[in-house]
Amino acid sequence: MTRSRQIAFVVVVIAAAAASGGWIYHQTHRFKHFAIHDPGMVYRSAFLGPDALGQLIETYQIRSVVNLCNPDEMTPELWEGERKAVASAGAILHAVPLPNSVDFDPQAWQQHLDILADPNNYPMLVHCQHGVTRTAMLLTAYDVIYRHKTAEDSLNTQPWFGHTKDNVHVHAFGKNLQKFSDEHHDKLAARPLEILR
């Protein structure tokens, strides 16, 4: 191989690598923090743009999107974009801010527990702004109630997307949820979702 062909080959390889890297970067940010939590049942992400959200709803046949953000966290345009994307894809949007507290208060969580208990909401996509802390909290409740996992097991198997795995806040919540579940199992008794599997 001549020197000019070697240089041309190297340039082509570098260009292909750059294009691949750019595509991966774009997809990663387009579907920010997307992950399958429980196949066919529960998915997670950060707050997504309408096109990405619509694509995920269609691809995974998602029936409901659970938005855990507070109304003032995102711009009105982003909220409206999400509402339109969910409605046009034929899914239901549950906009239910989640208390960002280490305590598990069943009254404050009642709306969220009702959403988790309704088989018509599955498959569902759960998200908060970044798809990390509050999303992990709701998915831990799902795992404890419906998958019979411990809160610790749930948190140890969830992705952290580059955030520290030692998220003290989320782990403190997990301990409080587990304590409540152990002491008041009847209050968290799950309606069976096995019919959906």
Q: CA-CA distance, 64 to 57, in Å (whole number)?
A: 8
The pLDDT tens digits for 89-141 are: 999 999 999 988 999 998 999 999 999 999 999 999 999 999 999 999 999 99
Q: What is residue 190's DSSP assignment?
A: P
pLDDT recorded at residue 193: 60
pLDDT at 195 over 80: no
pTM: 0.81
Residue 50, token pair as written in the block: 């309408």
Q: Summarize the confidence of residues 6-29 as an average pLDDT.
A: 46
